[in-house]
Structure 1
Amino acid sequence: MAGRYYYDPDLIEALNEQMREIATLTQSMTEEFVDGLAPTVRWPGTEGDFAEKAGPQERKERQFAKDTMFSIRDAVVSVTDAMQSQIDMVKHRRDTNVEGIDQVNSTIDPNGMSGGDAGHGRR
């Protein structure tokens, strides 16, 4: 494998926090959008030919627009949550490995592995 792999969980977490802010904005936009739709419910009318023909299509399009907004919001939130899960996993793995290395290093002495001079160390 060529190249070098580098992962900075703190940097990724900072970027993920920006995504979280976007998710919050998306939530607000969705709520404002749905609230903005409410006054338009009667625009096609409630009686007559046009209302009968346009009403069902308008309701269908209104629901489609709402569903789209909710889907976008849910997608942004899901991506943010998934990324945080990955960041937490990497941090846990890193911390566990560093702890293991520290434990091994603490058992090594100049004369060999935690046993004093057992004839295996250098003199």
Structure 2
Amino acid sequence: MGQRYYVDPQRIEALAGQLEEIGTLARSMTEEFLDELAPTVRWPGTEGEFAEKAKPQEQKERQTTKDTMMSIRDALVGITDATVSQVRLMKNTRDANIEDIEQNNREIDTHGLDGGPGGHGRR
């Protein structure tokens, strides 16, 4: 006999809500980080030997850090969007199947199992 799987859309929605909160927090942290990072752009200096040597590496590291923060944020948003989409799909499928079952039950009640009047059983 096959295994049964149980899906609780409300629980998944609650978890998706938590993911949305994490995404919002990640977005906020990213914005705060970038705001705090901006004033440090001139730390290696603008002229002299140290600035010449340090600035390219500092800019590369700065950009890598920005890209990493944005990627983390985008990944969280993507996971959340996909999860919410799957929950909607599950609910729509469930609701359509329940409606089909209810429709079939109404037809059986009206016409019987053999489809004839009176509904006195199968042929």
TM-score by length of 1: 0.91
Partners of 1:112 and 1:121 within 8 A in 2: yes
Match of 1:3 in 2: 3
Q: Residue type of the partner of 2:43?
A: W
Quote the Cα distance in structure 2 between the aligned partners of 1:56 and 1:105.
Answer: 73
Misfit runs of 4+, over 6 Å: none
Alignment of 1:1-123 (within 5 A): 2-109=2-109, 112-113=112-113, 114-117=115-118, 121=121
What runs of 5+ residues in structure 1 fail to find an aligned partner?
none
Quote the Cα distance in structure 1 between the aligned partners of 2:40 and 2:121.
Answer: 84
Cα-to-partner distance string for 1:27-62 (whole Å, 9 max, x where unaligned): 000000100111101100001000000001000000
Q: What SS class does the counterpart of residue 108 from structure 1 fall into?
A: helix
Cα-to-partner distance string for 1:1-36 (whole Å, 9 max, x where unaligned): 653210001110011101100000000000001001
1:115 offset after TM fit, Å?
3.2
Quote the Cα distance in structure 1 between the aligned partners of 2:102 and 2:95.
Answer: 10
Alpha carbon RMSD of aligned pairs, Å?
Answer: 1.8
Identity among equivalent positions (%) equals: 63
Task: Tell me whether 6-15 or 108-117 shows the greater mean CA deviation.
Answer: 108-117
TM-score by length of 2: 0.91
Identify if the C-alpha distance between structure 1 residues 13 and 58 changes in structure 2 by more than 3 Å, giving closer, same or farther.
same
Partners of 1:110 and 1:121 within 8 A in 2: no
Q: What SS class does the counterpart of residue 31 from structure 1 fall into?
A: helix
